[in-house]
């Protein structure tokens, strides 16, 4: 089989940083275009600025689209705003500014997912779409993450504000969001639209981990977005809302 053509898409994972929960999405998407899934160092607590450098050093030396899931949205925004090779930006269950009140910053010092029952974590992240297979995979991923790395990433989230940077993005932007997301709300989508009125929004009947729970629909939306860039050099105009 010939290798797929079109602009490659760079996938940046959520707070786990492993990319393991995006494997199904990456495998399906790779049938349509080149895909690069970048995992973060699991043993080093790198901040957003360091992770931007880490990603920038690994993207291809050609035009690409970049997708940031959840935690990685601010990284994808920075790349899209400052790297001339970036020709498309996708924010999946993500934000430009942290989704929680500032008072939660203190609580991140106590954050340790090992304290929480795994069924509660799965319910918060996947809702009713949590399958035994996905739940088991999530448990395996969480078991490998050092406590200090998760804590550091959580503190980074609560300090970040990339709204001004998002205003500087000139490439097409798409937002993928779950209607039942308990971690990232419509307020974050509204902030993205305020900074980028041209952003194209897809709403899914899903919880936070929509890329893992709805890979077929997500692949369709992402590939259509990239196809418009392939063919026209721009994405679908306006802020059209699609429910999937």
Higher pLDDT among residues 141 and 214, named by residue? 214
| Residue 1 in domain | no
As a whole number of angstroms, the distance between CA 126 and CA 132 comes to 11
| Longest pairwise C-alpha distance within the chain | 53
| Residue 43 in domain | yes
Confidence band for 115, pLDDT divided at 50, 70 and 90: low
Q: Collapse the DSSP code of 182 into the 3-class scheme (helix H, G, I; strand E, B; otherwise coil) and give the result.
A: coil
The tokens describing 147, both together, are 């406590």
Confidence band for 36, pLDDT divided at 50, 70 and 90: very high
Report the number of distinct structural domains present in the chain: 1
| Residue 3 in domain | no
| Residue 2 in domain | no
As a whole number of angstroms, the distance between CA 163 and CA 150 comes to 24
Contact between residue 207 and residue 126 where contact means Cβ atoms under 8 Å apart: yes
- CATH code of 213's domain: 3.40.50.1820
Spell out a b/e string for 45-78, using b for 16 or more CB atoms within 10 Å of the CB, else e. Answer: ebebeebbeebeeebeeebbbbbbbbbbbbbbbb
What string of DSSP letters covers 182-200?
SSS-HHHHHHHHHH-TT-E
The tokens describing 112, both together, are 């340790």
As a whole number of angstroms, the distance between CA 90 and CA 12 comes to 10
> pLDDT tens for residues 128-145?
777 778 888 888 888 888
**Which DSSP letter does residue 242 get?**
E
> pLDDT tens for residues 175-193?
999 999 988 989 999 999 9
| Residue 164 in domain | yes
Q: 55-69, 71-85, 86-100 — which is least confidently predicted?
A: 86-100
Higher pLDDT among residues 110 and 179, named by residue? 179
Q: What is the pLDDT of residue 204?
A: 95
Q: pTM score > 0.85 for this model?
A: yes
Residues 6 or more apart whose CB falls under 8 angstroms from that of 141 comprise 16, 18, 20, 21
Residues 6 or more apart whose CB falls under 8 angstroms from that of 58 comprise 36, 38
132 lies in which domain range? 9-243
Contact between residue 204 and residue 164 where contact means Cβ atoms under 8 Å apart: no
Contact between residue 229 and residue 65 where contact means Cβ atoms under 8 Å apart: yes
| Residue 75 in domain | yes
Q: 24-28, 31-35, 149-153 — which is least confidently predicted?
A: 149-153
| Residue 68 in domain | yes
Q: Collapse the DSSP code of 9 into the 3-class scheme (helix H, G, I; strand E, B; otherwise coil) and give the result.
A: strand
pLDDT at 232 over 80: no
| Residue 77 in domain | yes
Angle, helices 73-82/48-56, rounded to nearest 10 degrees: 60
């Amino acid at each position: 089989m010939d290798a797929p053509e079109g602009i490659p898409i760079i996938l940046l994972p959520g707070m786990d940083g492993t990319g393991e929960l995006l494997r199904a999405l990456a495998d399906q998407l790779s049938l349509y275009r080149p895909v690069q899934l970048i995992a973060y160092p699991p043993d080093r607590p790198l901040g957003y600025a360091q992770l931007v450098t880490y990603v920038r050093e690994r993207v291809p030396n050609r035009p690409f689209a970049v997708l940031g899931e959840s935690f990685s949205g601010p990284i994808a925004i920075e790349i899209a705003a400052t790297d001339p090779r970036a020709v498309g930006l996708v924010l999946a269950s993500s934000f430009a500014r942290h989704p929680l009140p500032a008072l939660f910053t203190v609580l991140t010092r106590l954050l340790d997912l090992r304290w929480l029952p795994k069924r509660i974590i799965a319910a918060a992240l996947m809702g009713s779409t949590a399958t035994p297979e996905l739940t088991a995979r999530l448990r395996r991923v969480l078991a490998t993450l050092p406590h200090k790395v998760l804590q550091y990433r959580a503190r980074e989230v609560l300090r970040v504000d990339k709204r001004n940077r998002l205003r500087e993005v000139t490439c097409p932007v798409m937002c993928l969001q779950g209607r039942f997301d308990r971690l990232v709300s419509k307020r974050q989508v509204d902030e993205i639209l305020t900074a980028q009125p041209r952003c194209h929004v897809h709403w899914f009947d899903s919880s936070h981990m929509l890329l893992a729970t709805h890979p077929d629909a997500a692949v369709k939306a992402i590939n259509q977005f990239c196809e418009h860039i392939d063919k026209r050099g721009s994405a679908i105009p306006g802020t059209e809302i699609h429910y999937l």
